[in-house]
Structure 1
Amino acid sequence: MRIAIIAYDHISPFMLSTPLAVFGEGLLAGGHQVQVCSDQFRLNTGGGMIIEAAHRLDAVDDADIVILPGWRSVNEPVSPDIVAKLKAADARGSIVVGLCLGAFGLAEAGLLDRRRATTHWAHAETFAARYPGVTVDAAALFVDEGRVLTSAGVASGLDCCLHLLGRICGIGEANRIARHLVVAPQRAGGQPQLIERPAIGSTADRRVTELLEVLRADPIAPPSLDELAKRSNMSRRSLTRHIRARTGGSLGEWIRRVRVARAKELLVAGVRGLDDVAVRSGFPDAHALRTAFRTEVGVTPVQWLAHQRIPGAALSLLSGNPS
């Protein structure tokens, strides 16, 4: 597999490093290629650095996945050469990813027409006005439309790339890379961009973090909120407030996301039958699993699995229990 990351003059070093951090180590070790491509050999970057691109822009032509990590400004059109490469990638069936303002490049290429997409919240209104054919989800961290993915600003590019890595190599590998990068593996695309965080390192924050890690390890039968508050030496109201600040929603919503993540791991591991997957993930039955998938992912488990590039996986699941 070949992944082409498009670089350009005055690119943000962080945005460029995001896909490299996620895809570089594991895929290169597995014999895949991850290439930084540009129409310039030497590139200025934010922060006063100069980098050198090892591959010319034409190297994008053979890539299975093409990533545009951001763009310089919403007020500057994305380079026509880059737009042309994005169009060609889509036409040959490659996966195309626009991180942050990179979504503007995908929209300019016509890849987001009649599709959902997101971008940095501060520019979502401009995005929607400029491309009325796109259904803009201004709150989402990232949006997966199958062969086209977009992410919100800066750090959410990590979530989008980890999600795509999970599609390619499995959720287990994505979680391993997430742990290596010391980022949360469970952030779903629908999680809000703007989340109020408690003070880092505070006692209450550490307690809530530890509590959530325990629940993530075993989300099947969590204790009641009152019991969790007692264990954390906090009032129910205080615990609820800290969980919402930490996760962007209620405890029940967070547990649902964790259970869906657990179900994804089981699905890509080849577990047959939605009822079995549901019970082992903490859902009472297949119907509850399907409902949670539609809420969190926007598709059924079988539809999601069909996007993971695992030959025959959806068919084997169907043979156990249809969606």
Structure 2
Amino acid sequence: MLKTALLLYPDINPFHFSVPYMAFQDASEGLFDVKIITPTGKPLANNIMQPKIDGGLDLLEECRIIVIPGWADADTQPDTATVKALQAACGRGACLVGLCYGTYALAYAGLLNGKKAATHWLGSDDFRRRFPQVALDINSIYVEDGNIITSAGTAAALDCCLHIIRKFYGVKAANKAARLLVVPPHREGGQAQFIERPLAQSTRDKKINILINTLKDTLHLPHSTDSAAAQANMSRSTFTRHFKKATGITFLEWLHQERLQLSLDLLENTSLTIDQIAERCGFQNTVSFRTQFYRYYQVQPNAWRKQFGR
């Protein structure tokens, strides 16, 4: 049995705790010796239903796997004793796991510097500002770099736990746990399919606004930077500069995103075939549409329709 610590913290969300507890304690009976730990070794001083606390940070020295199931406040750094305990555990080769915003705790401890990591997509901009030395992968639902594993949001935390079971005990054990939890042992795709990406509806540049409104109605037609510049009565260089300043992205990036966004609406709310959707969105052919869609969302259009369609 692998001794595994679940490190609780003030104001922990009970659901965030229950995910790894169910995965390692209930769905993997006999494989993990789960210890519930708090920094002080005492129950937390908040009004949540808590399991029996097994001890404090000294117990981490005995644990092969240490899980931080989320983090309540991105502005709050772990206390000094917790940081030192996590650093010591990492130094001796323990597997450290940050689920969802638990990645923040590991980053505050300096354990992710120069490493790849994942966290919930909603915190991506904030995380990048705070920890520019960490290579944040916002698409993956979990990332393993050395002896540190981090994951995206709550459902992705369960994916991550199944990965850990698979890593230490093999596919058979992970599949058994997944069946007990009534979830797939491995999900297709990443966070990209859940990230909200509202596109700019208007800018401060009136000419660009007029062009955008026109193009949105004609996405099925072929467009290029040169043809768009001509519609805006600008030279290519002037148009390129103005468009990037107005929208924050290049014209071709904007066109690509608009076409994909339109395809999402058609997949979710119509019964059009994939060929028809590709044509209506202005892709050269169905193969190009499928390729671009998968590259951006990490799932095929049919899978998207199955998951999000009406």
Please say whether Structure 1 and Structure 2 have the same fold, judged by a TM-score greater than 0.5.
yes
SS in 2 for 1:72: coil
Contact 1:142 1:189 in 2 (8 A): no
SS in 1 for 2:154: coil
**Matching of residues 2-41 of structure 1 within 5 Å:** 2-25=3-26, 27-30=28-31, 32-38=32-38, 39-41=40-42
CA distance in 2, matches of 1:109, 1:77: 8
**Matching of residues 161-180 of structure 1 within 5 Å:** 161-180=161-180
Give the deviation of 1:138 after TM superposition.
1.7
Contact 1:12 1:45 in 2 (8 A): no
Paired residue for 1:73? Answer: 73
Paired residue for 1:229? Answer: none
SS in 2 for 1:155: helix
CA distance in 2, matches of 1:240, 1:40: 58
CA distance in 1, matches of 2:174, 2:50: 30
Paired residue for 1:236? Answer: 273
Contact 1:141 1:192 in 2 (8 A): no
**Matching of residues 306-317 of structure 1 within 5 Å:** none
Note if 1:86 corresponds to 2:86: yes
**Matching of residues 277-316 of structure 1 within 5 Å:** none
Deviation track 1:137-183 (CA, whole Å, cap 9, x = no partner) reads: 12221111131111112221101111111001111211221121111
Q: TM-score, normalised by structure 1?
A: 0.59
Change (3 A) 1:126 1:191: closer
Paired residue for 1:119? Answer: 119
Deviation track 1:38-59 (CA, whole Å, cap 9, x = no partner) reads: 124222557x434441222211
Deviation track 1:42-83 (CA, whole Å, cap 9, x = no partner) reads: 22557x434441222211111111111111111211222222
CA distance in 1, matches of 2:158, 2:193: 13
SS in 1 for 2:192: coil
CA distance in 1, matches of 2:191, 2:166: 17
Paired residue for 1:249? Answer: 299
Change (3 A) 1:250 1:27: closer
CA distance in 2, matches of 1:188, 1:111: 29
Paired residue for 1:42? Answer: 43
Give the deviation of 1:192 after TM superposition.
3.0
Aligned residues: 213
Q: CA RMSD in A?
A: 3.1
CA distance in 1, matches of 2:194, 2:153: 11
Paired residue for 1:157? Answer: 157
Paired residue for 1:107? Answer: 107
Change (3 A) 1:127 1:189: farther
SS in 1 for 2:98: strand
Change (3 A) 1:176 1:79: same
Change (3 A) 1:172 1:91: same
Overall identity of the aligned pairs, in %? 34
Change (3 A) 1:138 1:19: same
**Matching of residues 202-221 of structure 1 within 5 Å:** none
Give the deviation of 1:85 after TM superposition.
1.6
SS in 2 for 1:20: helix
Deviation track 1:231-256 (CA, whole Å, cap 9, x = no partner) reads: xxx76339999x989x96216999xx
Change (3 A) 1:115 1:29: same
Change (3 A) 1:191 1:127: closer
**Matching of residues 181-200 of structure 1 within 5 Å:** 181-187=181-187, 190=190, 192=192, 194=194
Query: Mind listing any 5+ residue stretches in structure 2 that lack a counterpart?
Result: 197-270, 279-289, 305-310
CA distance in 2, matches of 1:182, 1:45: 31
CA distance in 2, matches of 1:77, 1:171: 36
Contact 2:27 2:181 in 1 (8 A): no
SS in 2 for 1:68: strand
CA distance in 2, matches of 1:188, 1:85: 35
Query: Mind listing any 5+ residue stretches in structure 1 that lack a counterpart?
Result: 197-233, 255-323
Give the deviation of 1:98 after TM superposition.
0.5
